[in-house]
Structure 1
Amino acid sequence: MEKQRAVVVTGFGPFGEHAVNASWVAVKELEKLGLGDEVDLIVHEIPVEYQTVQRLIPELWKKYHPVLSVHVGVSGMATMVTLEKCGHNVGYKGLDNCNFCPGKHCCVDGGPECLHSVIDIDAVYKRASAAVPDVQFTVSTDAGRYLCDFSYYTSLYHSRGKCVFIHVPPIGKPFTAVQLGEAVQAVIKSAMDVLEEAEDQINSHHKH
């Protein structure tokens, strides 16, 4: 039997006005839906704390060696499920739940300013939109310079780009928890397919 491939999916805990964080609700809905028998789905709630993110994300990569890591965050301004293309290294001045912000306002001292996912996010957007027509998706290049952007950059850095960040709107504005779970599931399945197809192409080039 083929060994299960691990996929790590994180959501955030409460912060500010988000006493219930829609990102973690969406991840819990995804957990109920699953990703099929071939995938070992690992979910983790991350507190809204810079130092925890810096410690936890590399730990999750080391422990599970996932084929893909997906981070979900809430955006009070979002009205669509937003796929982020890149993470940014500097500009982190907002205080976290511990009233802390990084001393140099950056994720990785000396790291590149911007890291992109190696996954074709536009292709993922098209597939997910087709798979869940009752949810609207969009694509963005600015994850907001707070814990969402910070966790995405940290994960991109440690995974060599094998991750995706999804921003969801608050529950009921306009989507239900179930719809958000279905949307996250569609994005992950699409991302895995896109990643696999890209790797197949690379492997077939190497065989010639």
Structure 2
Amino acid sequence: MQTVLLTGFEPFDQERVNPSWEAVRQLEGVKLGDDVQIVARRLPCAFSTAGEVLSQLIAELRPAMVIATGLGPGRSDLSIERVAININDARIPDNLGEQPIDTPVVAGGPAAYFSTLPIKAVVKALSEAGIAASVSQTAGTFVCNQVFYRLQHVLAGNGVRSGFIHVPYLPEQVAASGQACMPLVTLVEGLKVAVKAAWCTQVDVVQTGGQVS
């Protein structure tokens, strides 16, 4: 049985839940075919441990594909990330109280890594399923970007496709503020559609996904 590793994060910044993990954990054991299933795991929201936990999971599970997910505050859709950059620049402390500023994710590593997922095919599949989605040009500079960069660094050149998806808040998290959100049932279905599209698509589609500014 082949494995697709799907990760979400623990809550951070005084939140009680993290939508990425709440959605991801519901996909544990879901089969994408007769010989492939999703394995869901939660990552710590901490610069010093998240990447190491992810590396250990990859070594242990030897997945055929890896998709990490995280909360993107203020985002209104499933944001399929294009690029991870080699910088930590934390606006707030992580869950261990660390707040690195202008430090590299990997000392001496490349300036950036691109996702190796068929990101535009994933957006197309989500749009056809009626779920809001877009290509995102930035994964930020917090732990999400760090995990995305470390993921691509660990898997560089070995043929295992990987990438990152940001998800919005849940409605109950932003009831008072009115910020963008997405119901959990939609997040779960959206991630399922995204993973299946990524798994089944070998060559990405050619369609616009860029931004003017």
- TM-score grouping bracket, smaller chain normalisation: 0.7 to 0.9
Are 1:30 and 1:182, in contact at CA under 8 Å, matched by a contact in 2? no
**Corresponding position of 1:190:** 197
* CA RMSD in angstroms, aligned pairs only: 2.0
Residue ranges of structure 2 left out of the alignment (5+ in a row): 172-179, 205-213
Question: TM-score, normalization: structure 1?
Answer: 0.84
Among residues 93, 104, 107, which one is paired with 1:106 in the alignment?
104
Per the alignment, residue 56 of structure 2 pairs with 59
**CA deviation after TM superposition for structure 1 residue 103, in Å:** 7.6
Q: 2:207 — aligned with what?
A: none
> Is contact 2:26-2:188 (8 Å) kept?
yes
Deviation at 1:121, TM superposition (A): 1.0
Map 1:37-76; keep pairs closer than 5 Å.
37-76=34-73
Q: Which runs of 4+ in 1 moved over 3 A?
A: 32-37, 101-104
Counterparts in 2 of 1:102 and 1:82: CA distance versus 1, 3 Å: same
Any residues of structure 2 matched to 1:153-192 within 5 Å, and which? 153-160=149-156, 162-172=161-171, 173-192=180-199
The runs of 5 or more residues in structure 1 that have no matched partner are: 199-208
Alignment of 1:1-208 (within 5 A): 4-31=1-28, 34-94=31-91, 95-102=93-100, 105-130=103-128, 132-133=129-130, 135-160=131-156, 162-172=161-171, 173-195=180-202
1:192 maps to a residue whose letter is W
* Bigger shift: residues 91-100 or 19-28: 91-100
Equivalent pair of 1:75/1:168 in contact (CA under 8 Å)? yes
Specify which structure has the higher proportion of helix: 1
Structure 2 Cα separation of the partners of residues 28 and 36 of structure 1: 19
For 1:88, give the aligned amino acid.
I
Change (3 A) 1:32 1:176: farther
My pick for the range that moved more, 150-159 or 54-63, is: 54-63
Describe the superposition over 1:29-73 as per-residue Cα deviations: whole angstroms up to 9, x where unpaired: 323755344223211111111111121111111111111111110
Count of residues in correspondence between the two structures:
192
Cα offsets for 1:87-125 (capped at 9, x unmatched) = 111143342111114586121101011100122311221
**How far apart in 1 are the matches of 2:41 and 2:59?**
14
**Counterpart of 2:103 in structure 1: which amino acid?**
H
Q: Which residue of the partner structure matches residue 205 of structure 1?
A: none
Q: Which amino acid aligns with 1:189?
A: K
2:116/2:163 contact within 8 Å kept: no
